[in-house]
Amino acid sequence: MDKIIIEGAHPLQGEVTIHGAKNAALPIMAASLLLDGELWLKNLPQLSDIKTMVKLLEHLGVEGDLEKGQARLLSKKSKAVEAPYDLVKTMRASVLVLGPLLARRGRAKVSLPGGCAIGERPIDQHLKGFEALGAKVTLEHGYVEVEAKALKGATYTFDVVSVTGTENLIMAASLAKGETILENAACEPEIVDLANLLIACGAKIKGAGTSTVVIEGVQSLQSTEYRIMPDRIEAGTFLIAGAALPGSQVLVKETSVKSLDHLLIKLKEAGAKLKIGEDSIQVTAPKKLKPVDISTAPYPGFATDLQAQWMALMCLAEGSSVIAENIFENRFMHVAELKRMGADIRLDGHTAFVRGVKKLSGAPVMATDLRASASLVIAALAAEGKTEIGRVYHLDRGYELLEKKFRSLGAKIKRVKG
Ligand code: UD1
């Protein structure tokens, strides 16, 4: 298994260009199942999750060509409706094919994603929404099956704000008969990106990015070309890394500034200097980092996908901070690893109490999930000495050319094949 080796305490200097958003690309690729005709995508990140989604779509009768950040996806006439366990187990976002398959082929069968490293993550909200649109849902032998001769528009209020749940229902409702109103919908920018793609294909969607989304079903959706929005989590990761070590100055380019509002406020509070352009942000690390509390929440709150990285930063602050994780129940697995590097963190339920230390020191550590791995990279870049990070395949699910990008900023980081 590959390892990443980092020789820390070298300030970062330079600029980095942000890739397309994984969490926008995945639902948009799944939406190809809804179209009559081809979907041409640009600015796709080159990540293992994107390849997994292409494999899944091919399994479902989509002709897929993926090359260098571009894809052509053509949904053929096919009766395939099943997403097998082997694919779903490596990528939970496979559930995003449920809505399109149901709307287009009248049936979908997806292996239940089951437990995963960051908590239980049920999909009951997706299923209740499909039921509201008239689908029959059955759970059997580890698979969930949804079926409907024709979907009918309805009002559905989510009990829990769900990003992929909102996306699945927007996709299903786009081809349903009549009007669907989704209440308590998630407001993430990736949902807006999906809605914009669907609108470009002929869908009638209003209110995406707010908690009420109204979809007027149409008969068919047409071919289009679309550029995926920039990845705000990748951008956030580089900004946090750029704030961690005095002497660092990093310019993050081709990003969506608006989508990072909450993080930017927190970075300023921590003492980082920010220069904000139209689609770029420059961060200069403070001499002394101030402790800043965060509490994760659905967008526009602090993103749970940046919580682990923020914790790495707070380990180096002068003072104590409190980090509350409100989205996932088991998203603190990086804590044990950060402690191996000398961090002072106490956990109490879904809250972490972080007392800043003078320095972190390099150690052998293990990546446990995608964003936890990013937090270990940030900690290692700032730490004194050598850190070896194992199980880096987690990182490859969400960060394209991570070592290369950090190396271009002057970091001493390399991957060792194993
Ligand atoms: C998406 C993102 C993920 C991010 C998360 C929260 C993608 C592909 N992934 O995941 O990176 O961390 O949003 O911002 O976009 N829940 C239920 N029932 C459901 C659905 C969700 O109880 O049917 C709960 C979950 O257990 C969790 C919370 O709602 O506690 C939010 O989950 P959700 O927004 O659905 O996360 P994902 O869409 O899976």
In tens, the pLDDT along 153-211 reads 999 999 999 999 999 999 999 999 999 999 999 999 999 999 999 999 999 999 999 99
Residue nearest to atom 29 of ligand 1 (CA): 162
H helices, E strands: number in the chain: 14, 24
**Is 115 close to ligand 1, i.e. is its CB under 6 Å away?**
no
Q: pLDDT at residue 116 above 70?
A: no
Token pair belonging to 353: 């109490």
Residue nearest to atom 7 of ligand 1 (CA): 23
The candidate with the shortest Cα–Cα distance to 238, out of 391, 365, 68, 411, is 411
Q: pLDDT at residue 113 above 80?
A: no
Is the separation of the CB atoms in 47 and 400 below 8 Å? yes
pLDDT at 147: 98
**Is 400 close to ligand 1, i.e. is its CB under 6 Å away?**
no
377 φ/ψ angles, rounded to the nearest 5 degrees: -65, -45
Cα of 325 from ligand 1 centre, angstroms: 13
pLDDT at 120: 62
Is the separation of the CB atoms in 278 and 304 below 8 Å? no
pLDDT at 114: 55
Token pair belonging to 315: 């380990």
What's the mean per-residue pLDDT of the chain? 95
Q: How many CB atoms lie within 10 A of CB 403?
A: 18
Alpha-carbon Rg of the chain, whole angstroms? 21
**Is 26 close to ligand 1, i.e. is its CB under 6 Å away?**
yes
Provide the pLDDT confidence category of residue 117 given band limits of 50, 70 and 90: low
**Is 125 close to ligand 1, i.e. is its CB under 6 Å away?**
yes
Q: pLDDT at residue 119 above 60?
A: no
In tens, the pLDDT along 281-305 reads 999 999 999 999 999 999 999 999 9
Token pair belonging to 12: 């970062």
Atom of ligand 1 nearest to the CA of 96: 8
Q: To test the ligand 1 pocket, which listed residue (29, 94, 97, 121) has its Cβ within 8 A of the most ligand atoms? A: 121
The arithmetic mean of pLDDT across residues 24-50, rounded, is 96
Atom of ligand 1 nearest to the CA of 329: 30
116 in active site: yes
**Is 164 close to ligand 1, i.e. is its CB under 6 Å away?**
yes
Whether a cis peptide bond, with omega within 30° of 0, leads into 300 is: yes
Percentage of the residues of the chain whose pLDDT score is greater than 70: 98
Query: CB within 8 A of 342, min separation 6: which ones?
Result: 357, 359, 360, 361, 363, 383
Is the separation of the CB atoms in 179 and 214 below 8 Å? yes
Provide the pLDDT confidence category of residue 19 given band limits of 50, 70 and 90: very high
- Which of 96-105, 364-373, 388-397 has maximum average pLDDT? 96-105
CA angle 298, 295, 281 (to 5 degrees): 75
Residue nearest to atom 15 of ligand 1 (CA): 23
Q: To test the ligand 1 pocket, which listed residue (327, 332, 370, 399) has its Cβ within 8 A of the most ligand atoms? A: 327
The whole-angstrom separation of Cα 84 and Cα 91 is: 11
The whole-angstrom separation of Cα 56 and Cα 81 is: 11
The whole-angstrom separation of Cα 248 and Cα 14 is: 9
**Is 266 close to ligand 1, i.e. is its CB under 6 Å away?**
no
Burial class (CB in 10 A: 0-12, 13-18, 19+), 76: exposed
Atom of ligand 1 nearest to the CA of 164: 38
In tens, the pLDDT along 375-406 reads 999 999 999 999 999 998 889 889 999 999 99
Cα of 159 from ligand 1 centre, angstroms: 13
The whole-angstrom separation of Cα 284 and Cα 226 is: 34
Provide the pLDDT confidence category of residue 115 given band limits of 50, 70 and 90: very low
Q: How many CB atoms lie within 10 A of CB 415?
A: 16
Q: pLDDT at residue 141 above 90?
A: no
**Is 162 close to ligand 1, i.e. is its CB under 6 Å away?**
yes
Q: pLDDT at residue 99 above 70?
A: yes
Residue nearest to atom 9 of ligand 1 (CA): 23
Atom of ligand 1 nearest to the CA of 328: 30
Residue nearest to atom 32 of ligand 1 (CA): 162
- Higher-confidence residue of 121 and 339: namely 339
Cα of 72 from ligand 1 centre, angstroms: 28
Instruction: For residue 106, give the amino acid letter.
Output: G
The arithmetic mean of pLDDT across residues 7-18, rounded, is 97
Instruction: For residue 204, give the amino acid letter.
Output: K
In tens, the pLDDT along 290-349 reads 999 999 999 999 999 999 999 999 999 999 999 999 999 889 999 999 999 999 999 999
* Helix, strand, or coil (residue 263): helix
Percentage of the residues of the chain whose pLDDT score is greater than 90: 88
Cα of 162 from ligand 1 centre, angstroms: 5
Residue nearest to atom 33 of ligand 1 (CA): 162
To which residue do tokens 């008239």 refer?
A: 134
Token pair belonging to 248: 């660092």
The whole-angstrom separation of Cα 5 and Cα 412 is: 8
The whole-angstrom separation of Cα 214 and Cα 212 is: 7
Provide the pLDDT confidence category of residue 122 given band limits of 50, 70 and 90: confident
Cα of 122 from ligand 1 centre, angstroms: 8
Token pair belonging to 366: 């293990």
The candidate with the shortest Cα–Cα distance to 84, out of 119, 108, 117, is 108
**Is 165 close to ligand 1, i.e. is its CB under 6 Å away?**
yes
Provide the pLDDT confidence category of residue 103 given band limits of 50, 70 and 90: very high
Per DSSP, what are the bridge partners of residue 347? 352
